[in-house]
Structure 1
C-alpha cells in the first residue's frame, strides 16, 4: 500500500535516489533540503513528470526544526498519515580535531544530529496513534572506526547511531521500527569534495597505511542507488522484524566491525 514518506537531504545524492525509488513505488513524498531552488533538485530533472506530482519540495534548513515542522503541517499532504521518515541530510566538515572551533561543532551537531533528532521526535509522535511506521537514518561507517581528518563528522555520526538505536527501543512497543544505514565511500558531491581531480584517489579503493584505511574489498565505490536500496528495504514490510539495526553498505571497508 502506498504511503507518505518524508526525506531530508532530498535535492541530490543519496536523498534524491531515495526519493526517486519511493516515487517509483507510487508513494507520496515530502522532500526537504537546504538547497534554495527546488526546480534545480534532481527529482524535477527526471523524465517522468507524473511521479513528480506525488512529490512536494520544502526548501528549509534542518537546523530550524520548529519552522520546518510548521511547513510540513501546511503541506498539501499534511492530512495523510506518515508512513516513514528518512534522515539523509548531513554535512562533512574536514579537519583536525585539534583545530575544530566551537562554531564548527555546533554547526555539525545541529545539522547531522540535533535537527534530525528533533524532526524524528515530532514524526514519531505523529506515528504513535497509528501504531506503525518506519524510520531510517543515514549514519556512516566512520561512526564505527576512527578516520584522520574526519573526527568531527565521525563523532556526530556516532551520536546519530546511538541515539536512533535508543529511540528504536522506546518506539518498539508502539509498532514503530527505527534503523540505520551506514554508507562508506559513495559517489556523491560530499565525497567528491575530498578529491583533487575527477577520479577517486587510489587510497580509497586500495587503502592507505598512512591514513590507517583498509581500502574497499569489493573494489568499487558505492553509487547513491546502492544506499537507497538498503534504505528502501528497511522501510519496507520485508524488514518488519528488524529494528535497532545498523546496516553497513561500504563494500567491506570496515571489515565487518
Structure 2
C-alpha cells in the first residue's frame, strides 16, 4: 500500500488532498501545527473507515527534526514513502517597505525552509527505492508582482525555483518534483483578506489600482480544483513530468 505525507493537512487544500488520497485507498501521514484535533477539518471530510489508513502529527513545519522523528515512529511508516505534498504555507500581507527581518525569517521558515528540509529527508528515503514524487504548493503570485504581497510572493518564488533545482538532482533516481501554483482559492487563507462574507469584486473582475488582472474564468477556485492537480502530478499519469509548474488560477496570470 502506498504511503503519502502531506503537510498543512488540517484544512483547506491540504485536507482535500488527504481526502482524495485516502479515497484512493492510500495511506496518509497528515501533518499540521494545529494541536486541537477538533479543529482539523480533515476529520470532517473523511469516513470513519479511512481512519485506519491515516496517522496525524501535530507539529510546526519549522521543527523538521521533530516531524521526522514522528514519521519514523508512525505505525504507517515501513521505510518507504511514495509521495510528499508540501501544502503548508502562511500569507502575511503588507508593504515590503515595512517588512522586518523577523517577518522574513518567519515566512521563509514556514513557506520554504521547513518544506525544503522535510523534502530533503524524504528524497533520501526515496533514492534507494528509485521512485517517488514530491509536489509542492507554490502560488501564481510567484510569477508576477503583487501589491502588498511581496513577502508571500518572494517566498513562494523561492519555493518554485528550489524544487525545480531539486527535481534536476533527483531525476537520475527516477524521482519527480513538481509544483502547483494556485490562484485565489476558497480557503481560510483567502478569506482572511476579505472584509465581508464574500470575495471582493476586484478578485474576479480585476482591480487597476492593485494591478490585478482578474480571473478570466470568472470564478475563484475550490480546494478540490487544486487537489485534483496535485493528485495528477503524484500519479503515474504524470510519470514523464518533472520540474513543472502547473498553474491553476482560472487564467489570472494570463499564461505567464
Structure 1, 37-46 or 5-14: larger mean CA deviation = 37-46
Distance 2:185 2:248 in 1: 9
Structure-2 residue corresponding to 1:143: 142
C-alpha distance 80-26 of structure 1, shift in aligned 2 (>3 A): farther
The alignment covers a number of residue pairs equal to 256
- Residues 221-247 of structure 1, C-alpha deviation per residue, up to 9 Å, x if partnerless? 000000000000000000000000000
Answer yes or no: is the 8 Å Cα contact 2:18–2:42 preserved in 1.
yes
Counterpart CA distance in 2 for 1:47 and 1:112 is 27
Question: 2:210 maps to which residue?
Answer: 211
Runs of 4+ in structure 1 over 2 Å off: none
Could you say what the CA RMSD is over the residues aligned between the two structures, in angstroms?
A: 0.8
Deviation at residue 78 of structure 1 after TM alignment: 2.0
3-state secondary structure, aligned to 1:98: helix
Distance 1:81 1:139 in 2: 25
Q: Aligned residue for 2:220? A: 221
Report the Cα distance in structure 2 between the residues aligned to 1:154 and 1:43, rounded to whole angstroms: 27
Note closer, same or farther for the CA distance 1:178–1:47 as it changes in structure 2 (3 Å cut).
closer
Gaps of 5+ in 2: none
Distance 1:58 1:162 in 2: 28
SS of residue in 1 equivalent to 2:145:
coil
Is the CA contact 2:86–2:135 (under 8 Å) kept in the aligned structure 1? yes
For residue 50 of structure 2, what is the aligned residue in structure 1?
Answer: 51
**Shift, 1:39, TM fit:** 3.6
Q: Is the 8 A contact 1:9 1:32 kept in 2?
A: yes
The alpha carbon displacement at 1:77 in A equals: 1.4
The 1-side partners of 2:108 and 2:42 are apart by: 28
1:93 corresponds to = 92
Q: Give matches, 1:95-244, under 5 Å.
A: 95-244=94-243
Shift of 1:81: 1.1
State how far apart, in whole Å, the 1-side matches of 2:241 and 2:125 are. 21
C-alpha contact (below 8 Å) 2:79/2:125 kept by paired residues: no
Conservation of the 8 A alpha-carbon contact between 1:43 and 1:52:
no
Return the alpha-carbon distance in structure 2 between the equivalents of residues 207 and 52 of structure 1: 42
Once residues 12 and 122 of structure 1 are traced to their aligned partners in structure 2, the CA distance between those partners, rounded to angstroms, is: 24
Q: 1:145 to 1:47 in 2, by over 3 A?
A: closer
Q: Give the TM-score taking structure 1 as reference length.
A: 0.98
How much does 1:87 deviate? 0.1
Q: Secondary structure at the match of 1:135?
A: strand
Listed one character per residue, the Cα deviations across residues 121-173 of structure 1 (whole Å, up to 9, x for unaligned) are 00000000000000000000000000001000000000000000000000000
Q: Call closer, same or farther: CA 1:47–1:89 in 2, change over 3 Å.
A: closer
Which stretch shifts more, 45-54 or 26-35? 45-54
SS in 2 for 1:31: strand
1:43 deviation in Å?
2.3
